[in-house]
């Protein structure tokens, strides 16, 4: 979403670029997760804990930097970040990627503290990216067939269910959907490129 199309040419194909922000976040998360596994003190300093309410303000964001719940969490979150993160970075660009990631993180952490859910993990931030991609597909900007569009459009309803049952991933998905829709609307309004799935090599 960084290259404006030429007048009268419609949407231009996006310039290919490496998703270095996704890989940077992946590397930092891997390093801090390893540190947390090797050092219980590091984990306890970063995870979601009641100490947040007594002045340890960094715990509002630091829990997304570690995945302390075992290899299933590490592998799942790493794969989700690389797949969804790379796609979201190509669709939205780095600045908007960062906005979706951090907004999802904050929404997930605030919801978790509100519901006394004390743990850690990067999945709430990744859920923000998922919401952004759902907006891209569900609103038709990806130009995919009807079935994936219907699935993406139904994701917010599923996120509402997650909120109702107390799952911390529902709020970040909703925030991601809302922000993604706003970003896409602004891109169209200002004539900036919104890449399609075909332009990104998806669904060929």
Average pLDDT over the chain, rounded to whole?
91
Determine the Cα–Cα distance for residues 113 and 104; give it in Å rounded to an integer. Answer: 14
Mean pLDDT of 130-147: 96
- Residue 184 to residues 128, 139, 192, Cα–Cα distance (Å): 15, 9, 9
Confidence of residue 154 (pLDDT cuts 50, 70, 90): very high
Instruction: Tell me which of 204 and 42 has the higher pLDDT.
Output: 42
Mean pLDDT of 75-83: 97
Radius of gyration of the chain (CA): 18
What's the pLDDT at 147?
Answer: 94
What's the pLDDT at 17?
Answer: 62
Confidence of residue 18 (pLDDT cuts 50, 70, 90): confident
pTM over 0.85: yes
Tokens representing 93?
């660009």
Determine the Cα–Cα distance for residues 148 and 150; give it in Å rounded to an integer. Answer: 5
């Amino acid at each position: 979403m960084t290259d404006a199309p030429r007048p009268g040419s419609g949407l231009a194909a996006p310039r290919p670029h490496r998703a270095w922000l996704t890989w940077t976040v992946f590397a930092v998360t891997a390093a801090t997760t390893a540190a947390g596994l090797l050092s219980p003190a590091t984990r306890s300093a970063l995870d979601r804990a009641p100490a947040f309410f007594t002045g340890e303000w960094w715990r509002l964001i630091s829990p997304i930097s570690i995945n302390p719940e075992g290899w299933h969490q590490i592998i799942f979150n790493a794969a989700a970040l690389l797949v969804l993160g790379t796609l979201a970075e190509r669709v939205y660009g780095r600045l908007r990627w960062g906005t979706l990631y951090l907004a999802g993180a904050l929404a997930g952490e605030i919801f978790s503290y509100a519901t006394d859910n004390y743990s850690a993990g990067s999945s709430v931030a990744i859920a923000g990216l998922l919401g952004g991609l759902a907006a891209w597909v569900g609103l038709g900007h990806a130009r995919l067939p009807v079935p994936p569009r219907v699935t993406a459009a139904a994701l917010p309803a599923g996120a509402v269910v997650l909120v109702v049952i107390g799952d911390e991933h529902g709020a970040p998905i909703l925030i991601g959907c809302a922000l993604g829709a706003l970003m896409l609307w602004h891109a169209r309004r200002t004539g900036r490129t919104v890449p399609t799935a075909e332009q990104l090599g998806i669904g060929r």
